Structure 1
Amino acid sequence: MERNIVHMDMDTFFVSVERLRDRSLIGKPVLVGGNSDRAVVASCSYEARQFGVHSAMPMRLAQRLCPDAVIRKGDYDEYSKYSKLVTDILIEKAPLVEKASIDEFYLDLSGMDRFFGCWKWSLELRKKVIRETGLSISMGLSPNKTVSKITTGQAKPAGSLEVGHGMERAFLAPLPANKIPGIGPETYKMLCKMGASHIYHLQALQPELMEATFGKAGIMIYSKANGLDESPVIPYQEQKSVSRSITFERDTTDMNILHKTIIGFVDELGFELRSQQRLTGCVTITIRYADWNTYSRQSQIPYSSTDDVLVKTALQLFEKLYDRRMLVRLVGVKFSDFVSGSYQIDLFSDSVGKINLYQAIDGIKKRFGPELLKKAACL
């Protein structure tokens, strides 16, 4: 059975939501992000992009490039609400949906061609999302996730594009190599030095050369450059949780021990999420007292995998939950409500330096083991 995979991506999602709340922003350059000197741009309108502004850019630089831009701090609760609206529509209509991030989705329509025609059905679904939410959305259809995601990028903004079976290599060939998901700035620089600035260059290379140069990642790049990707659409409903808990040898009320334990668990789980390229939208803390009564409290958060956000949330939950002032037998931390994603910028506090720090720490842990680096608070 031929695969038919749709990729849907909301156009400048945060900006689009802000424009629904304030129609005067339509047509103006808009920046969404923190308002501190160290803040970064979480999202920007296409009008702002014409001035060279892009996501993850320092807000101060973005303001210099586009001094007339309107800045909105952002409201993640509102963004989550609109994301849920889109998610509910897609899950109701499509047979298999993967929520890749707050504003990005994959749909597996394999087998539906015999009944409706996947392209026509997808267009109707896209129109339904636009009609019922007021949001702009772009869409790509192809035989696999990689090509569909690239297709959506080519269709933006507010467009739709199909790449038929057998047309994958021809469609990809003229595009720059960094259009392939997973090729970052450093990898792209190396490819350019090799004379492989475009995908047709990669298609002409031998897979052995790619593996010798980039390891397993080289084989992945070569496969995607040739339009090959067998990765499945993972149903949104099947996302699970990760957790850590400990039963103390001696029941305790030592806040230093309890805080260290929680921070240590968050440190482990956060690294696990980032290694699996997942973000969590829900943090849960569990306490079991000496009398065996067990209590839990959870909090919905903007999708994140950063320790700063997760530690702060976990400790706040613990302070609210620990109200009996008696000996604690067990404490646990759980993350759930996952979406795919390597890192999502926090709207209010993240800086470029902090992003680079996280990436450097994770790189060391992946190379030498997660036990090598630990927070001082855990020691």
Structure 2
Amino acid sequence: MSAEKQIIHMDQDAFFVSVEVKKDSSLVGKPVIIGGSSDRGVVASCSYEARKFGVHSAMSSRMAKMLCPHAIFIRGNMDEYSKASHEITDILKDRVPLIEKASIDEHYIDMTGMDRFHSTEKYAHELRALVMRETGLPISFGLSVNKTVSKMATNECKPNGELNIIQPEVQNFLNPLSIRKIPGLGEKTFVKLSDMGIKKIYTLAQVHPEQMNFLLGKSGLSLLQKARGIDNSPVIPYSEQKSIGTQCTFNADSINIEMINNLLVAQVMDVAFQLREKKKLTACVTVTIRYANFETETRQMAIGYTSLDTVLIAAAKDLFKKMYNRRMLLRLVGVRLSNLVSGFEQIDLYSESQEQYSLVQALDKIRRRFGQDAVTRAAVMDIKL
């Protein structure tokens, strides 16, 4: 008989805001919004004090100002948030058997079987205390029998909380909650189920599987399982090597720097689109070059978590410029994005203009409809390899 799963979900409390509060204690207890303050800006994160006024992430800054006119807007710094995220991951990964970095500010930890040596709840408490002591940042955790319930437990005890939901208590914990609380349940599904009178998890859990399949297909069956406290998805081991990349070998060795830079742009646009389609962010860009004599060089750069072409193109070009200084013919160039985490919705809105973000969204929409090569930059259209 296999041991009952013990899954910890650790989540930073208003992460971006917490980093800013750590730098400036005068922000404690105030409604703080991370994001552009212009009417075209977007809220990337906000403090719990701002949330009391109805402000939430992805809301327009204009609406946020209307709801909370006395809020303090901070443009934000993704490099600082990324650094803090890496520090937290480093603290956790050396002290647990299996960890998944689910996003820039949350981790899943599989402690199954370890309770033979140590109370999992006590160990989670000690880990949480260690993170807060070492980083000065608040964090909460939920502990339960799978990823879905542990995440929902965390959400219920935030901010600055701890909650352990053991197997016999799972359904009682879930039943009174709104179906909105189920991870992955989108707005359209919420409206559809609400219109049918299904607003609480208790009601959803009673629906027959055939009816859910008819209403929402496979996603409906998955939703039903979650409402019943069932989730068999594994904790996926965290690895800095998780990556998306591409490379190109030239038909003839080349020293045409303009052409190679244009190729880099095309390659970055290709992998960045793949990144966004997977709803991922990257914190590391790697460029590889191979000379005509087959000697290969690789250089990488740590960046703030992002998936925007402009940031990634600039990093790739900078790496190539620093690396290629021998004036020898090249036969290959490649780009790889690594250290990936989920977090498309936390894209670096506040360091890039809203216009840039909107442009990326529009271009991606065209690519999905007409193919990945449907749009590109003019400079890369006539590349001859």
For normalisation by structure 1, the TM-score amounts to 0.89
Counterpart residue number, 2:83: 81
Counterpart residue number, 1:33: 35
Deviation at 1:351?
6.4
Are the counterparts in 2 of residues 285 and 314 from structure 1 also a CA contact under 8 Å?
yes
Counterpart residue number, 1:267: 269
Aligned residue runs from structure 1 range 19-168, under 5 A: 19-168=21-170
Counterpart residue number, 2:6: 4
Deviation at 1:162?
1.3
1:187-226 residue CA offsets vs partner (Å, 9 max, x unmatched): 2122222322222222121222222332322222121111
CA distance 1:112–1:295, change in 2 (3 Å): closer
Are the counterparts in 1 of residues 81 and 304 from structure 2 also a CA contact under 8 Å?
no
Between the aligned partners of 1:163 and 1:294, the Cα distance in structure 2 is: 52
Q: Which amino acid aligns with 1:263?
A: V
Between the aligned partners of 2:295 and 2:268, the Cα distance in structure 1 is: 23
Q: Which amino acid aligns with 1:233?
A: V
Counterpart residue number, 2:210: 208
Q: Which segment drifts farther, 209-218 or 353-362?
A: 353-362
Deviation at 1:253?
4.1
Q: Which amino acid aligns with 1:229?
A: D
Q: Which amino acid aligns with 2:131?
A: V
Deviation at 1:270?
2.6
Deviation at 1:259?
4.0
Deviation at 1:108?
0.8
Counterpart residue number, 1:178: 180
Q: Which amino acid aligns with 2:122?
A: K
Deviation at 1:323?
4.1
Q: Which segment drifts farther, 206-215 or 106-115?
A: 206-215
Counterpart residue number, 2:305: 303
Deviation at 1:167?
2.5
1:314-364 residue CA offsets vs partner (Å, 9 max, x unmatched): 234334444455543211001111223344220434567766775676577
Counterpart residue number, 1:328: 330
Counterpart residue number, 1:16: 18
SS at match of 1:127: helix
SS at match of 2:94: helix
**Please, which runs of 5 or more residues in structure 1 have no aligned partner?**
none
Are the counterparts in 2 of residues 288 and 328 from structure 1 also a CA contact under 8 Å?
yes
SS at match of 1:93: coil
CA distance 1:50–1:159, change in 2 (3 Å): same
Deviation at 1:147?
0.7
SS at match of 2:171: helix
Between the aligned partners of 1:181 and 1:10, the Cα distance in structure 2 is: 17
Q: Which segment drifts farther, 321-330 or 35-44?
A: 321-330
Between the aligned partners of 1:180 and 1:359, the Cα distance in structure 2 is: 27
Percent identity over paired residues: 51
Please provide the CA RMSD for this pair: 2.6
Deviation at 1:304?
2.4
Counterpart residue number, 1:251: 253
Aligned residue runs from structure 1 range 283-294, under 5 A: 283-294=285-296
Q: Identify the match of residue 219 of structure 1 among 221, 228, 238.
A: 221
Deviation at 1:124?
2.1
Q: Which amino acid aligns with 1:116?
A: H
Q: Which amino acid aligns with 2:292?
A: A
- Pairing 1:374–2:341 present: no
CA distance 1:42–1:166, change in 2 (3 Å): same
SS at match of 1:54: coil
CA distance 1:363–1:210, change in 2 (3 Å): farther
Are the counterparts in 2 of residues 284 and 314 from structure 1 also a CA contact under 8 Å?
yes
SS at match of 1:32: strand
**Please, which runs of 5 or more residues in structure 2 have no aligned partner?**
none
Between the aligned partners of 2:231 and 2:322, the Cα distance in structure 1 is: 46
Between the aligned partners of 1:256 and 1:137, the Cα distance in structure 2 is: 48
SS at match of 2:313: helix
Between the aligned partners of 1:351 and 1:194, the Cα distance in structure 2 is: 40
CA distance 1:70–1:238, change in 2 (3 Å): closer
Are the counterparts in 1 of residues 143 and 164 from structure 2 also a CA contact under 8 Å?
yes
Are the counterparts in 2 of residues 286 and 295 from structure 1 also a CA contact under 8 Å?
yes
For normalisation by structure 2, the TM-score amounts to 0.88
Between the aligned partners of 1:27 and 1:363, the Cα distance in structure 2 is: 40
